[in-house]
Structures are given as structure tokens and as C-alpha cells.
Amino acid sequence: MEKRKRNVYLNMKTLQEARAIWSERTASLRTAEERVQTRSSLHRVTSRSLTALRSVPHYHGAAMDGFAVNARETYGASDTTPLRLGIGSSAFPVDTGDALPAGTDAVIMIENIEQVSDAQIEIRAASFPWQHVRKVGEDIVAGELLLPQQHRLHPADIGALLAAGIVEVDVFAKPRVWIQPSGTELIPASHASEAAPGEIIEFNGTVLSALVEENGGVPELRDIVIDRYESVRDAVRAGVDSPADIVLVNAGSSAGSEDFTAAVVAELGEVLVHGVTMMPGKPVIIGMVAGKPVVGLPGYPVSAIMAFEQFVRPLLHSLQGIESPPFATVPAVLGRKMPSKLGLEEFVRVIMGRVDERLVAMPLQRGAGIITSLTRADGILQIPQEQEGIDEGATVEIRLLRPREQLDSTLIMIGSHDNTIDLIANELKARDHSLHLSSSNVGSLGGLLALRRGQTHFAGSHLLDPDTGEYNFSYIERYLKGTPVRLVQLAMRQQGLLIKKGNPKGIKGLEDLLRTDVGFINRQGGSGTRVLFDYCLSRRGISPDAISGYEQEEFTHMAVAVNVLSGRADAGMAIFSSARALGLDFIPVAEERYDLVVAESCFADPKMLTVRDIIVSDSFRRIVESMGGYDVSASGRTMGIWNGSEWIERADT
């Protein structure tokens, strides 16, 4: 495979500079014109102005049910001098929408008429010309400008066009986008079951295709090309020579020795920008080849999506002569301090919910390769490059990823991870599609601190007090002074060592972690699992410093399980259900109690009441028990009520 000189970002641009350069070079570009049926033109953009071919209405019509008359013949009618008109001679029955008979210019409503015989009606008030009549051209006059060019068509527009006799419209063609995945390590998603170590399932292309469609374009997803200069060059050249309006190359945009996109674009055309001070998305490339926009998107999925939104999304709209619709935003209170690197425009994914009347935004993991940080996110916080971060409690503007109305139906759970939380989230949706549970896994202690700061509705916690052997009580007393909460048991669960199927290292217990040939993966500091693990080590007189990998941390039980499954570690401390989910062996170490710590102010909230109904239901208990390693027979039991200074109720444990 050909190796080329490593690229270096010599002239990185700020996001604002890069977008200005891009806009200047692409502003005059438009897609071709095409003619489409009006009835199939929803959301298309007009390429020419549209003039009415006929008036609406094109005849004088009745606007009410009643009788059409000549207004002059009704003058003098009153309560004291009623007037009689002959049916069929001077008064003509009409329904709404009927054309007025010749010689009439007004309609008397049916409720203002008394029919005295089959041949006559009586009226007690005079009409005036054009009363209750829709005149010719009242809505649209033939020949008038109906819609301008570069107008995005909405449902009402389509109705007006058809009414005005326009059955075909000239519009800009939908932008066609050539999407070229690249990477020797990539395999098609259809071969996912055959993926070997080092092979990556290609899904960015499908994500980008969906983004193109969402923004009114037509994607053309190509087959994967390998990391070879000639292969990438031939693919870009083919895209430029095709009818596509934009060429996207995914991956290969960075500065590595096998990242060829920038060099290819430079050879075939012009690189406008390589490297933008944004995170995620820094390695993006924007260029022109033979007058056609070419964009190199980073390989990491979140980077690719963020770069797409900044450079491809606006282009898809400008090619049709319209501005990108603005993203919906909402002000929120930032739940924790958010440091940021000066000089980088950062896009931080957050979960959101209304807690005690405040809309709170809590940051999620930042990794550019963590696509679930977008699937789980409720919004995105953009930190300007001139800021070194944002303080906790600051009011920030959040770009919404979910409908605004869902925010009031969202529960926030911050704290320790447990697989049952995902079950609760799923059951909430099943019971009421408007309800949503957003969770952030920061460990048990992090959850208690979030409760203290009023940033979450409830926390998941399993903090063992080594002195008493009890769970959560002493920690609530220590960290939640002044914060009333209720402690509700969710489950008893088995914690232990996860090891590879068949136990190839012959691990029998915690003592084997001292062996030099055994690598360990730990949970993060402040998590209940870490506290329990340290407690178990101390009871056995084992020093953490003697365990290889003790300092290596993960934030969830499933992440620990994946580390063991992949071979990064030989053992890790986690719950039994995570071992069972990935087919790992399990050595029991301890049983623990996992609780929900619920803010008293939220305990009677209808959303929280639904959660409580779920966890005591037979269906929920059956599903949890089927996962293995759980005892949920006491799920929903109130373990204690803390008023902020003392326990006013506390169950025996």
C-alpha cells in the first residue's frame, strides 16, 4: 500500500472563517431546473416566479346559503314594511359556492328569510350590492404574481397554485450527493456478523445519506474504496464527472500518512480549507474540483455529522437558492462546569429536563467516535472558541435535538449505571409515548451531588458504607444535608468478576488479580462498584497498587464487559447481567442493593409516579429476573425518607 508524506494542518481556519470562504465560493451555484407536477411539489423550491392563470374565484359565487337577489330590488324592506319577492323571478335559492344567477348581486342569508308560500319569500331588511358574495378575483386575480422564485412550497401554496390553474411548476432539482466511504478497515454493514478484529462496520455512509435526505437532497451511496491514493483519486474524479452536485468523501481527511483526501482534492482542483477549529470535526476538508464542491468529512461519526451540519447542510439549501432553516434553541441552566480548549469551537452533547421549574442541561461524554452521545442527547451546547469553558449554573442556549414540548415530559436520571434503567426507559415509552428518560452515568456519588444541586429528578446509587455494611444511608446523610429525598429500593444484584468464557487464565477470585499475567479493568472513582470493590479488597488485605490495570476505568458495567470480551482486560468487576449479556463467565463476589434516590420535590410528579408503577409491576420484575443476577421481589419498597436533616422514616436493612 502506498505511503505518502504526512499532511499537517498548516493553515487551520476558525469555523466562522471557513464558513465565510465556503459561502463565497458556493453562493452562486444552483442545481438544474426541472418541471414537476404541482400536487407532488411539497417542499420543492421554485426556480421561477409563478403567475396565476385564472382568477379565484372565477365567477361571482354565493358565500352563504340563502336567496340571490338584485340588491336594488330590496330597498325599503324593514320590520314595519316587509317586502315580498317572487321565487324564481326576483329571488333565487342558492347554496354556498353556487354561481349567482344573471342579474343578481347579493345573497340574503336563509335565516333572514320567511317563506310565505311556494312562490314567495318575505324579507324585513334591505341588502346591499355584493353582500354575502365572493366576487371574481376576490382571492386571486389572473395575471398577478402568486409566488416568487426561490420560494419553498408549503401545503397551502400547493392549494393556491392548483386553484389558480397551475398544474406544473418549475423548481430547482434536488441536490444530488455522491457519498464515498473510504478505509481499508471498513466492511459493509451486511457483513457485520463476519467482522474480524480490526474490521469496522461502515455505517457513516448511511448516516450521511439520511442527513442528505433530511435536508432535501438525493444521496448516492457508493461502495467502499480502500486507503490507496489512486483509489481515492479515481473515486473523487468519478464523483466530479457524475451528475452529482456535491461530492463527499468520508474518512481520510485527517493528517495521517494514509489520509489522501486533501492531496487528491489539491491535485484535481483546489483545497479551500483543510482543518477547522471546531471539535468534533476539526479534520474537515472543503474544496472545489472542476467547479463542483468536494467535502472531506472525518471518519469519526460524531465528527462527520458535526462537519456535515456546518458545511454540507447549508450548501444543500443554497444550491436551491434558500437559506438553511435555523435550528430550534432553548435557554437552559448548565448542570456542571464545562471546561473547553481556547481556540476551538466545541459542540457538547447534553441531556435536558425540567427540574424544579428550571430547564437543566447536563453534558454527556465528548468522544468524537461515540455516536450514542448523539442518540442519547437532547441537545447540543456550542461553546465559542474565545471561551475557556462555561461555569456551572450559567444560562446557555441549547440547540434542540428533540421537540421542545418533550422537555416537560422528560425525566433525568444521573448516577450509577444499571441495565434496569434502560428497561424503565423503554417501559415509559410503551406506557406513554410522550414520556422520555434521559440518563447520564457518572457514578453513585455523582448522582447524589446532582441531586444536591437540583440537577436531576432521581439518582441511581449503591454506595456501601464499609463501617456499617449498609447501602446509601450514610452517604445521603453526608452529602444531602438540606436536600429532602426518598430512598426506594430497585433491586438486589450480584456483583463479581467478569472473565472470558471458559476462564482461560484460571481465575478463581480476587487474589488472582495479583498475578502478573492478569490484567484488570476498573470502574470509575465515585461509583458504587468501585467502592464495593475497594471494600472487598481491604477485607482480604489486597493492595490496589498491586493489581495491574486498577487505574484503567470505565463508566458502565457493559463497558467493563466489552473490555473483557475484547481481550483488553482479563477480568473486571461488574454485575452478573452484563456477563450474561455478552456470554462471559462470572465469579460472584458480593450481593448489593441498588436504590433510586428520588428528590422529594419530584416524588409525586406524574412522571415519577409512572416509574414507581413500572418497578412494582409483575411484567417488569419478570423481565429483570430473566436477565439473571437480580432479586426484585422488594422492588419499589421505600427504604427511607430523609427531610434534609434527619431520617423521618427508615426501613430495617
- Report the greatest alpha carbon distance in the chain: 115
Instruction: Collect all residues with Cβ–Cβ distance below 8 Å to 570 and sequence separation of at least 6.
Output: 499, 500, 505, 507, 517, 518, 519, 520, 564
pLDDT of residue 198: 83
pLDDT of residue 9: 53
Set of cell numbers at residue 92: 333565487
Order the strands of the 120-123 sheet from edge to edge: 83-86, 120-123, 113-115
Angle at 27 between CA 262 and CA 206, to 5 degrees: 55
Instruction: Collect all residues with Cβ–Cβ distance below 8 Å to 378 and sequence separation of at least 6.
Output: 350, 351, 352, 353, 361, 398, 400, 401, 402, 406, 407, 410, 438
pLDDT of residue 532: 93
Helix axes 229-241, 261-268, angle to 10 degrees: 50
Distance CA 646, CA 629 (A): 33
pLDDT of residue 376: 86
At residue 191, φ and ψ (nearest 5 deg) are -105, 20
The whole-angstrom distance between residue 523's C-alpha and the CA centroid of its chain comes to: 29
Q: Where do the domains of the chain lie, and which CATH numbers do they carry?
A: 15-29+175-318 (3.40.980.10), 33-56+138-172 (3.90.105.10), 61-134 (2.170.190.11), 327-400 (2.40.340.10), 458-650 (3.40.190.10)
Set of cell numbers at residue 63: 358565500
CB 530 within 8 A of CB 443: yes
Question: 369 — alpha (psi -120 to 50), left (phi > 0) or beta?
Answer: alpha
Using CA atoms of 276, 277, 278, 283 in order, give the dihedral in degrees to the nearest 10: 40
Q: Which long-range contacts (CB under 8 A, 24 or more apart) does 260-266 make?
A: 260/4, 260/227, 260/228, 260/229, 260/232, 260/233, 261/182, 261/232, 261/236, 261/285, 261/296, 262/7, 262/296, 263/4, 263/7, 263/229, 264/229, 264/232, 264/233, 264/236, 265/236, 265/289, 265/294, 265/296
Question: From residue 563, how far is each of 75, 156, 197, 556 by CA, in Å?
Answer: 94, 56, 13, 11
pLDDT of residue 638: 96
Question: From residue 439, how far is each of 111, 378, 420 by CA, in Å?
Answer: 62, 11, 12
CB 464 within 8 A of CB 471: yes
CB 447 within 8 A of CB 416: yes
In terms of Cβ atoms closer than 10 Å to its own Cβ (0-12, 13-18, 19+), residue 101 is middle
Residue 526 is given by DSSP the state T
Question: From residue 394, how far is each of 69, 359, 384, 445, 448 by CA, in Å?
Answer: 69, 12, 14, 23, 21
Neighbour count for residue 441 (Cβ, 10 Å): 24
Set of cell numbers at residue 388: 475557556
The whole-angstrom distance between residue 70's C-alpha and the CA centroid of its chain comes to: 62
Pairing of strands 379-383, 345-355: antiparallel
pLDDT of residue 3: 42
Cis peptide before 280 (omega within 30 of 0): yes
CB 500 within 8 A of CB 432: no
**Beta bridge pairs of residue 177:** 219, 246
CB 629 within 8 A of CB 577: yes
Residue with cell 434536488: 174
pLDDT of residue 258: 63
pLDDT of residue 194: 84
Pairing of strands 168-172, 33-37: antiparallel
Residue 119 is given by DSSP the state S
**What are the average pLDDT values for consecutive 10-residue runs of the chain, which has 653 residues?**
47 93 97 97 96 96 97 94 95 96 96 93 95 95 95 97 97 98 92 85 95 97 94 97 97 71 95 95 96 96 95 98 95 90 91 92 74 85 92 94 90 91 93 90 91 95 92 96 97 96 96 96 91 94 96 92 95 94 95 96 95 96 93 96 96 74
pLDDT of residue 460: 95
Distance CA 261, CA 268 (A): 11
Helix axes 618-627, 419-431, angle to 10 degrees: 150
pLDDT of residue 69: 97
DSSP string, 328-376: PEEEEEESS-EE--TT-EEEEEEEEEEETTEEEEEE----TT-THHHHS
Neighbour count for residue 469 (Cβ, 10 Å): 9
Using CA atoms of 604, 606, 607, 613 in order, give the dihedral in degrees to the nearest 10: 80
Question: From residue 328, how far is each of 81, 157, 331, 398, 501 by CA, in Å?
Answer: 63, 24, 11, 8, 48
Distance CA 79, CA 317 (A): 64
What is the model's pTM? Answer: 0.83
